[in-house]
Chains A and B, each alone.
Chain A
Amino acid sequence: MTLAGRAAIAGIGATEFSKDSGRSELRLAAEAVSAALADAGLTPSDVDGLVTFTMDGNAEIAVARELGIPELTFFSRVHYGGGAAAATVQQAAMAVATGVADVVVAYRAFNERSGHRFGQVSSAAAQQVNTSGVDNGFHYPMGLATPAATVAMVAQRYLHTYGATSEDFGRVAVLDRKHAATNPRAWFHGKPITLEQHQASRWVAEPLHLLDCCQESDGGVALVITSAERARDLAQPPVVVAAAAQGSGPDQYIMTSYYRDDLAALPEMGVVARQLWRQSGLERSDVDVAVLYDHFTPYVLMQLEELGFCGRGEAKDLVASGALELDGSLPLNPHGGQLGEAYIHGMNGIAEGVRQVRGTAVNQVPGARHVLVTAGTGVPTSGLILTAA
């Protein structure tokens, strides 16, 4: 038995993306789920499963209460921050594939700019009384206390190992912002940047400039997952989950996997990649669009290498070649990514993957059939391959 092709994303929904939503996170979650159900042509009474991130502040039962979802037979959470994004779809797909649930909604909603900001020092992460708190004890008290700083440590080694430069990181930001500039839903709509602006932006955690770091956003995104069979009868053309995988690597930590032999790598994404190719039966050359998690630009380069789109240390050349432009061989983040559209913990990237397969994206890649979507990196992560039915 395989998961490949068993489930489909039948609906997507989102709130506006802002810096101050003016309403509660639960309200955002309810709006996003409601919009996704409407998109699928379903109602709350059709839903029997809910899945979200452990980091999400909205309990499944709270969302169910607000929307009048009467009964749940499946509710689940996925851990490790943004690494959970694609895994929520995997959990939903496994639930529908095994008959545990019929219609599962995956959601993520937060006031991540106007409320608790991820870019700041998280004393809660440092002080949690569990193994992750003990892990963080070897990092946070020493001053390594923000996501940008944790990535900067790896980025520095990557630059050293492969002779890349800050400009190579910057080209990812420039590309994302170029795509966001023509996406009306993007926070940075109409605001492209140049490489010079990237280089001139202030240091956050050297070697990361401000423009290497994604924005903080308020908003919510929801995805409706049901069986591929049922999806065919719903409102939208089904977008089939050709592969869904999670991955954790050797000697894995949350953002601080600093004790492995090779620091300039993301082996957990390699674990995901191997499953995605095997499960889907697709090859790298089959991928029409890549939606890669871009909380920090260096990890986009490293993902391209882990996913096998180029060799180790060659991502800088791939980016510079123009291959990741909309008319290139591997268009990257046509919605503008999290750097350009919004940071909804990777869930807006999955929604973009769905739109690309449907052929309804604002920056549509003509004839896109296979879209690769990844989740948060530096943490145990996940990925999807979405295909047309």
Chain B
Amino acid sequence: MIDVEEAARRIAAKGESRPRLARDPVNQAMVNNWVEALGDANPVYTDPEFAASSVHGGLVAPPAMAQVWSMNGLHGQRAADDPLGAMMSILDEAGYTSVVATNSEQTYHRYLRPGEHVSSSIRLEDVTGPKRTALGEGWFVTTRTTWRVGDEVVAEMVFRVLKFSPAARRETVPDAGAVLRPVISRDTEFFWEGTRKGELRIQRWGDVLRHPPGPLPPDGDLTAEPDYVVAEGTGAVYSYLVHHHPQVPGKKLPFVVALVELAEGVRVLGELVDTDPEDVHIGLPVEVTFLRVDDELTLPAWKVRA
């Protein structure tokens, strides 16, 4: 077991990383590209004459470019003593393999001028967790970056990321290539079209619902035309089994297959996911969920109704 908090204390104790000089000094070419890309038409960044007459008395760089100057470039490497890099490695090892940025607060102490060469240093401020989030369990990692020209602090940034372990996403079938695909006929096509759209469609002949669907109503009326209802998707387990052996393509053993009686009165079969088999019983309230295999195929399935 990796002690994340202990590692965080160790990294934080090292303090700020050594100042790392930006690849290039503040330069007009980069400013021109940046304001163009961002759509910032302020001439104080690009027009020497205008700038000379402004409060700045000459060209300045947009303050929000602070991080631009110290970026590592496409093939750049983090500094060896970069505490964010060190913390990310620890969390990767601890199984928190995914990352998402959550906050970035920048403070600008003054404008930078072309020709000034900034350095940046990073300090690990805080590591909080583990927290349960919608994305999965993870740690909030907060760092402070300080930009300097010489010894003068020109800008600062408090940056926070969530480093998390992705929650098991059951809506995507793990071994999609191996899933047994349904043979689909003209009579059953609408059902599978429905599952692709997240609808559990039940064939309707007048007042009579029929599942599995077919080309004729139960009374054999050749003149009848079917449509379908989109089931509310709730029902109760009518019967079920726990499959232990042998391996079934696209399924992880053991798994539960349930025959569910829908509120609409028909039975529909599907895997009952995200449930301990021990907790399943006849009468268990369930609701529909959809397991996406690929663009063509989505399987109806069940989960326990909250």
What is the interface of chain A, defined by CB distance below 8 A to chain B?
119-121, 123, 126-131, 133-146, 149, 152-157, 160, 202-208, 210, 256, 258-259, 263
Q: For the complex, would chain B's binding face be called helix, strand, loop or mixed by DSSP majority? A: loop
What is the interface of chain B, defined by CB distance below 8 A to chain A?
179-185, 187-188, 211-212, 238-251, 254-255, 257, 259, 266-271, 277, 282, 297, 299-301
Give chain A residues whose Cβ lies under 8 Å from the Cβ of B181. 126-127, 141
Give chain B residues whose Cβ lies under 8 Å from the Cβ of A205. 241-245
B75 CB, min distance to chain A CBs, angstroms: 45
Bound complex: CA of A121 vs CA of B245, how far in Å? 10
- B183, B212, B267: the one within 8 Å of A129 (CB): B183
Q: Given A146-B246, A149-B257, A152-B241, verify A121-B180 contact (CB < 8 Å).
A: yes
Bound complex: CA of A256 vs CA of B241, how far in Å? 13
Bound complex: CA of A256 vs CA of B259, how far in Å? 11
Bound complex: CA of A121 vs CA of B251, how far in Å? 12
- A128, A160, A203: the one within 8 Å of B239 (CB): A160
The 8 closest A-B pairs by CB, nearest first: A137-B182, A133-B183, A152-B241, A206-B242, A157-B239, A203-B244, A126-B180, A140-B180
**Beta-carbon nearest neighbor of A135 in chain B:** B212
Give chain A residues whose Cβ lies under 8 Å from the Cβ of B299. 141-142
Bound complex: CA of A204 vs CA of B180, how far in Å? 20
Q: CB distance B259 to A258 under 8 Å?
A: yes
Q: CB distance B239 to A142 under 8 Å?
A: no
Give chain A residues whose Cβ lies under 8 Å from the Cβ of B247. 121
Q: CB distance B246 to A121 under 8 Å?
A: yes
Interface centre among B183, B246, B282 (most CB of A within 10 A): B183
Q: Given A206-B277, A258-B267, verify A140-B238 contact (CB < 8 Å).
A: no
Q: CB distance B257 to A144 under 8 Å?
A: yes
**Beta-carbon nearest neighbor of A203 in chain B:** B244
Q: CB distance A153 to B241 under 8 Å?
A: yes
Task: Report 16 cross-chain contacts, Cβ distance below 8 Å, ordered by A residue.
Answer: A121-B247, A126-B180, A135-B212, A138-B182, A138-B188, A138-B211, A138-B212, A141-B181, A144-B243, A144-B257, A149-B243, A149-B257, A156-B239, A156-B240, A156-B282, A206-B241
A331 CB, min distance to chain B CBs, angstroms: 31
Q: CB distance A157 to B244 under 8 Å?
A: no
Bound complex: CA of A78 vs CA of B268, how far in Å? 30
Q: CB distance B183 to A136 under 8 Å?
A: yes
Q: CB distance A141 to B259 under 8 Å?
A: no
Q: Given A142-B270, A143-B271, A204-B245, verify A128-B183 contact (CB < 8 Å).
A: yes
Q: CB distance A134 to B184 under 8 Å?
A: yes
Bound complex: CA of A139 vs CA of B300, how far in Å? 11
Q: For the complex, would chain A's binding face be called helix, strand, loop or mixed by DSSP majority? A: mixed
Bound complex: CA of A129 vs CA of B183, how far in Å? 7
Bound complex: CA of A88 vs CA of B239, how far in Å? 34
Give chain A residues whose Cβ lies under 8 Å from the Cβ of B180. 121, 123, 126-127, 140-141, 145
- A128, A145, A208: the one within 8 Å of B248 (CB): A145
Bound complex: CA of A140 vs CA of B179, how far in Å? 9
Give chain A residues whose Cβ lies under 8 Å from the Cβ of B185. 131, 134
Bound complex: CA of A135 vs CA of B181, how far in Å? 12
Bound complex: CA of A135 vs CA of B188, how far in Å? 10
Q: CB distance A206 to B183 under 8 Å?
A: no
Q: CB distance A263 to B238 under 8 Å?
A: yes
Give chain B residues whose Cβ lies under 8 Å from the Cβ of A140. 180, 182
**Beta-carbon nearest neighbor of A260 in chain B:** B267
A23 CB, min distance to chain B CBs, angstroms: 26
B281 CB, min distance to chain A CBs, angstroms: 9
Bound complex: CA of A349 vs CA of B105, how far in Å? 81
Give chain A residues whose Cβ lies under 8 Å from the Cβ of B246. 119-121, 146
**Beta-carbon nearest neighbor of B300 in chain A:** A142
Give chain A residues whose Cβ lies under 8 Å from the Cβ of B249. 121, 123, 145
**Beta-carbon nearest neighbor of B182 in chain A:** A137
Bound complex: CA of A137 vs CA of B191, how far in Å? 11
Give chain B residues whose Cβ lies under 8 Å from the Cβ of A149. 241, 243, 257
Q: CB distance B182 to A141 under 8 Å?
A: yes
Give chain A residues whose Cβ lies under 8 Å from the Cβ of B251. 143
- A156, A160, A259: the one within 8 Å of B212 (CB): A259
Bound complex: CA of A24 vs CA of B247, how far in Å? 27
Q: CB distance B239 to A143 under 8 Å?
A: no
Bound complex: CA of A360 vs CA of B268, how far in Å? 49
Bound complex: CA of A135 vs CA of B250, how far in Å? 20
Give chain B residues whose Cβ lies under 8 Å from the Cβ of A146. 243, 246, 248
B141 CB, min distance to chain A CBs, angstroms: 40
B173 CB, min distance to chain A CBs, angstroms: 10
B153 CB, min distance to chain A CBs, angstroms: 61
Bound complex: CA of A75 vs CA of B56, how far in Å? 103
Bound complex: CA of A259 vs CA of B212, how far in Å? 8
Q: Given A157-B238, A202-B244, A206-B242, verify A143-B257 contact (CB < 8 Å).
A: yes
A255 CB, min distance to chain B CBs, angstroms: 12
**Beta-carbon nearest neighbor of B183 in chain A:** A133
Q: CB distance A153 to B271 under 8 Å?
A: no
Q: CB distance B244 to A139 under 8 Å?
A: no
Give chain B residues whose Cβ lies under 8 Å from the Cβ of A259. 211-212, 266-267
B218 CB, min distance to chain A CBs, angstroms: 9
Give chain A residues whose Cβ lies under 8 Å from the Cβ of B248. 121, 143, 145-146
Give chain A residues whose Cβ lies under 8 Å from the Cβ of B277. 206
